Amino acid sequence: MCSIIGFSKKTRSVSDIRPYFERTHSRGPDMARIIETPTGYLGFQRLAIMGLTETGMQPFSLDGDYVVCNGEIYGFRALRRRLMEQGYTFQSGSDCEVLLPLYREHGLDMFSMLDAEFALILYDGASGELIAARDPIGIRPLFYGYDTKGGIVFASEAKNLVGLCAEICPFPPGHYYAHGKFVRYADLTAVDHYIRGDLDTVCKGIRDRLIAAVDKRLDADAPLGFLLSGGLDSSLVCAIAGRVLGKPIRTFAIGMDTDPIDLKYAREAADYIGADHTEVTMTRQEVLDALEEVIALLGTWDITTIRASIGMYLCCKAIHQRTDVRVLLTGEISDELFGYKYTDFAPSDEAFQQEAKKRLEELYMYDVLRADRCISVNSLEARVPFGDLDFVKYVMSIDPAMKRNTYGMGKYLLRRAFEKDRLLPDSILWRQKAAFSDAVGHSMVDDLKAFAEERYTDAEFEARRRKYAYCTPFTKESLLYREIFEKYYPGQAAMICGYWMPNRSWPGCDVDDPSARCLSNYGESGK
């Protein structure tokens, strides 16, 4: 994970902008550099993952063009060989060094060619323009704003731009910025026609693509680790990785010290696949002590995201402090594709599909944001196999009638796809879904709610929540989170489009809390 920043104009000096850039030092603790372009600046903070020597340090340059990129370019070795045949030379083992030759050959069409998770800023020496782009899901973060002294500024995190820009905006995934405007180059949610094959054929397509997605994300020059909750998604990623690598992998799980649910399932999965497994526990006080820090690093006021981030942050903090792991594979993005507990209530096939489309398009403000910030603030890199472009496009194209839970078990297609491989015990493969913020222990959310309840009287709550016209807090917990957010990101609440909640227009989903525990079908999920 790295940090990038780019200024289109020289309205400030390098010494002026350096403090803003250093706010994300943890994303790239190995080396930092800010260079002047003929019109502005480019900055890069490096966490060395591919090509560990100093030759992999960015910005890369080519005949007056410069680029900084926080990303992983999958299949870059084949791209590099092809470019070498065309006469280009390379100085490092970094995957991102292929970007400028690709841009020279393909221009702005390059972005739709990349199999990658990335955010980049490129200075075109011929035009004198700054170009920026972000991967189709938004796995790698990028924000922008207009400097109070003129010019557009791009940066990895919103915190880089606080005090620099009056309004901070998330860079839209699947877009590039060039010639002064944003252009969408990819839409993974667009489906021309549905795949309506038999179950075995469709499941084989899921299986083959997920295995390929995990396989390509195991390519790293730095040590790998895996977050393992004991749920279906992270367990599958770990089991596939262990099978592909042919050796024990390092897995990590976290839970409350009093009532963890996930820890026993994570241990069972780890034992089954022969992993080198580490458990981390957290106390009520550790949760409360971490709350403000987590909101500050996330840059959100959303209830679900904050709840789910506390355990992830504390787990990643322990990994950073106790191990040499630099890259973590995670199980995010499966829910958006295959369904949550609440999508069992979808009133029609098309409603299910449209909900998946909405969740995928907004993912960069919720689960993807959570995974990136919790991991990167601890100087680690996140890789997300379920976010593989080919995998996402395939699953989105499956007939929603097949994806809906008409089988008595959510995510049935994903489970069936790996049933014959025996990668996991049936108790894990067919375990009911439990949301991470609940499964670390129900006491965590209960403790957070109780803590917020103690902070405000009913009268104080009513008076203080009405200060916020945009996405007005509706519980004492949401007010607490909003007030902490405003302390670090004053006036920037619109960076998040709304509270992550079940689709309240559906029967059975009109709840006042995002926890799946509020749904009638929660059942055995929390046991």
Q: Three-class SS string for 188-247?
A: CCCCCCCECCCHHHHHHHHHHHHHHHHHHCCCCCCCEEEECCCCHHHHHHHHHHHHHHCC
Phi-psi domain of 367 (left: phi exceeds 0; alpha: psi -120 through 50; beta: other)? alpha
CB 143 within 8 A of CB 168: yes
Q: What is the pLDDT of residue 524?
A: 63
Question: What tokens appear for 385 in the block?
Answer: 């196999």
Q: Could you say which of 2, 165, 315, 316 is catalytic?
A: 2
- The tens digit of pLDDT for each residue in 6-42 reads 999 999 999 999 999 999 999 999 999 999 999 999 9
Average pLDDT over residues 111-124: 97
CB 226 within 8 A of CB 329: yes
Confidence check: pLDDT of 149 > 90: no
Q: What is the pLDDT of residue 437?
A: 57
Q: What is the DSSP letter of 303?
A: H
pLDDT category at 430 given cuts 50, 70, 90 is very high
pTM of the model: 0.96
Confidence check: pLDDT of 453 > 60: yes
pLDDT category at 439 given cuts 50, 70, 90 is confident
Q: What is the DSSP letter of 378?
A: T
d(CA 100, CA 204): 37
d(CA 209, CA 417): 11
Q: Which domains does the chain have, with CATH numbers?
A: 3-184 (3.60.20.10), 199-446 (3.40.50.620)
Strands 175-178 and 31-36: unpaired
Each as own residue / partner, the long-range contacts of residues 404-407 (CB below 8 Å, 24 or more positions apart, any chain) are: 404/339, 404/343, 404/346, 404/349, 404/352, 405/339, 405/343, 405/344
Under 8 Å CB-to-CB from 448, ≥6 apart: which residues?
287, 288, 291, 307, 477
- The tens digit of pLDDT for each residue in 463-491 reads 999 999 999 999 999 999 999 999 999 99
Percent of the chain with pLDDT over 90: 91
Q: What is the pLDDT of residue 523?
A: 65
d(CA 6, CA 34): 9
Confidence check: pLDDT of 527 > 60: no
pLDDT category at 50 given cuts 50, 70, 90 is confident
pLDDT category at 52 given cuts 50, 70, 90 is confident
Average pLDDT over residues 125-150: 95
Question: What tokens appear for 383 in the block?
Answer: 């890789």
Q: What is the pLDDT of residue 433?
A: 72
Confidence check: pLDDT of 275 > 90: yes
The residue among 261 and 332 whose pLDDT is bigger is 332
Confidence check: pLDDT of 526 > 60: no
Closest-CA residue to 302 (of 60, 431, 484): 484
Active site residue 2: yes
pLDDT category at 48 given cuts 50, 70, 90 is confident
Strand partners, 182: 177
Confidence check: pLDDT of 387 > 70: yes
Confidence check: pLDDT of 443 > 80: yes
Neighbours of 29 (CB within 10 A): 15
pLDDT category at 300 given cuts 50, 70, 90 is very high
- The tens digit of pLDDT for each residue in 343-365 reads 999 999 999 999 999 999 999 99
